Amino acid sequence: MGVGGGPRTVVVIGAGVVGLSTAWFLQERGVEVTVVDRDGVAAGASWGNAGWLSPGLAIPLNEPGVLKYGLRSLLDPRAPLHVPASPDVRLWSFLTRFAANCTWRSWNRAVRANLAFNEECLEAFDVLTSNGVEAPTIKAPITAAFENVRQATGLLHELRRIDGSGLKIDYTALDGDALREQVPQLSPKVRAGIRLDDQRYVDPGHFTHSLAEAVVARGAVIRSGFRVTGVHEEAGGLAVRSGAGETVVADAVVLATGAWLNGLGASWGVRVPVRAGRGYSFTVPTEKPVPGPVYLPAVRVACTPYRGGLRVAGTMEFRDADAPLDRARIDAIIASARPLLSGVAWDGLTDAWVGPRPVTPDGRPLVGATRAPGRFVAGGHGMWGLTHGPVTGRMLAEQITTGKQPAALRDFDPVR
């Protein structure tokens, strides 16, 4: 054990943005870290997401309107929220718990619980990019676009509720002409919008790989192809074992495997289910440069400037985390976004991707100590794992090294 009784060595299972951020902030506190991953850096949800760093839109999924929308579109394969017909008892049990949490009381609790993360998330990115992570965070407003003012009302209500929770959001309502002056990709069908200022975005894959490089430069080892089969106590610490018979021993272990968290976490006393809410994305060329992120709330699509084109992301698909990409979901995103966007070469689509975002039924992630000594988890951030990844790593590193739970993590207790 290290100075003050904290761990001297830690194994982090998971090389996504949450796991790597935890590794970086542990190193900042003098801990020797090894990161293991079954596939490699950014192989899960950290690569193909929209890349938004948006505390203003980090809204819990269990908003009551989502339940109403979900019931209407439950088995529609073209709907943004899709649950394939399945006899999976665990999935339907999860959805039942999720539905029970689609209340204003539960949603407001999740909003308040996420307040500290939203207040500090951009600062945590600044700490990383000022200290060796060579990937820029780009400041730009996020523009939400609607076909009419009535559609914009729902988002305005949510922003006011977020504002009432204590997180101050700078936003402005705009009409169609003003929107198109700022975002030339919006079509004439768009007649109302909301601009959220003081937001940012990144190339998520580039950022995560840069974070991995910084962690290695500070002395860590990242082992890809390490499929963990168990964590066992042995003399001198905890042994993390792989299916190939490899073993890494450390004083403590962090499980940051996203949608796969429950596999090992259940044996550590984690009872809150985490399911894969799979998101899809792809890249398309545009006639003109895209000035900043665009949100199409009515069809649940997020668009981000990406390597000279536009990354288009959408869908919340409750399917097995390892299921193959369903091209019909990509086609559904195109069909829903095409009428609202102009100057986009949809036939030039590349980088089609699907990734499993870890969703909890109550809109709150799982971050902290488990019932098993020396074992911690960090996951369940839903669509906001990138936005909240670095601040999660910073707060969890504090808990691991001091033995004290930060106040901001109380509502995220993984054994709640």
Contact 144, 137 (CB under 8 A): no
Instruction: Give the domain 63-103+137-200+274-359 fold.
Output: D-Amino Acid Oxidase; Chain A, domain 2 (3.30.9)
Q: Dump the DSSP string for 21-51.
A: HHHHHHHHTT-EEEEEESS-TT-SHHHHS--
Measure the CA angle with vertex 74, ends 70 and 79; round to 5°: 85
* Mean pLDDT rounded to a whole number for the chain: 93
* pLDDT tens-place string over residues 203-222: 999 999 999 999 999 999 99
For residue 71, the model assigns a pLDDT of 58
- Per DSSP, 390 falls in state H
CA atoms within 13 A on the CB side of 301: 27
For residue 404, the model assigns a pLDDT of 96
Contact 374, 7 (CB under 8 A): yes
The CA-atom distances, in angstroms, between 397 and each of 171, 199, 208, 409 are: 33, 26, 18, 12
Domain covering 3-46+206-273+363-412: architecture: 3-Layer(bba) Sandwich (3.50)
- In terms of Cα–Cα distance, which of 300, 363, 360 is closest to 111? 363
Ranges in the chain, pLDDT < 70: 1-4, 67-77, 80, 85
Phi and psi torsions of 330, nearest 5°? -60, -45
| Domain chopping of the chain, boundaries | 3-46+206-273+363-412, 63-103+137-200+274-359
For residue 3, the model assigns a pLDDT of 47
For residue 363, the model assigns a pLDDT of 95
Residue carrying structure tokens 């069809």: 299
